[in-house]
Copies of this chain bind each other. A is one copy, B any other.
Amino acid sequence: MTPETRSTPRSNTQRALDELRDLIFSGDLPAGSDHLEVELAQRLGMSRTPIREAMLTLEAQGLVEVRPRKGFRILSLSAEDMEEIYQILTELESLAAERAAARGLSEADLAILAQAIADMDDALSSEDRIAWAKADDRFHAELVRLGGNARVAAIVGMYNDQVRRARATTLYMRPLPHQSNADHRAVYAAILDGDQETARKTHAKHRTNASRLLTELLQRPGMKHL
């Protein structure tokens, strides 16, 4: 845990990328706010160049918008954006579930998935929503990994980043997600069974429900953008 255990001296561009992501996800750079190159450069203690380069990558990932004389705008997501993203997540994760089921994976292969489910159960009993959200993240990330399509995993990861803020906001607005855990177990079972169709459909239903819940919460007055 020492501060300087890093062997590779990461480039400033890389640091800028990581730190800017953190600033965005933490809400330190709020959605909708604008930021000039010099401002961010000073803030991170480097020159404009690595900031620009990091911002280009973040733009390609859909997190910011470059507005030539107005600075970088941290993109906010409307309810419609959220629906678009959830459609994609539903679709691609369901594909991953189907493919995972098709691969004839053993219980050992599914250990991480099983662990994530167990962690979610624990988190639910202790009503620890943050721990639950983290385990849920792990479940979904591992699911797309098991799907065996690296590009699907990358896209899903990217969009999960984008909705992270929204999920954090709604985490305490929703009831405890008992149904989610049941869904996860059903998906797990279908994958282990090699039942592609069930894996896909079960997961699709799970995601569709989650999506509906989220968008309903987000459409409450005063929640316009995140």
- Assess whether A57 is interfacial by the CB under 8 Å rule: yes
- Assess whether A53 is interfacial by the CB under 8 Å rule: yes
B53 touches A84 (CB 8 A): no
Cβ-defined partner of A88 (8 Å) among B59, B61, B152, B159: B152
B84 touches A151 (CB 8 A): yes
Q: Which residues of B are found within 8 Å of A150, using beta-carbon distances?
A: 84
Q: How far apart are the CA atoms of A159 and B95 in the complex, in Å?
A: 17
- Assess whether A155 is interfacial by the CB under 8 Å rule: yes
Q: How far apart are the CA atoms of A57 and B53 in the complex, in Å?
A: 9
- Assess whether A170 is interfacial by the CB under 8 Å rule: no
Q: Which residues of B are found within 8 Å of A152, using beta-carbon distances?
A: 84, 87-88
Instruction: Pick 9 A–B contacts, CB within 8 A, sort by A.
Output: A53-B53, A60-B60, A85-B151, A87-B95, A87-B99, A87-B152, A92-B92, A151-B159, A155-B155
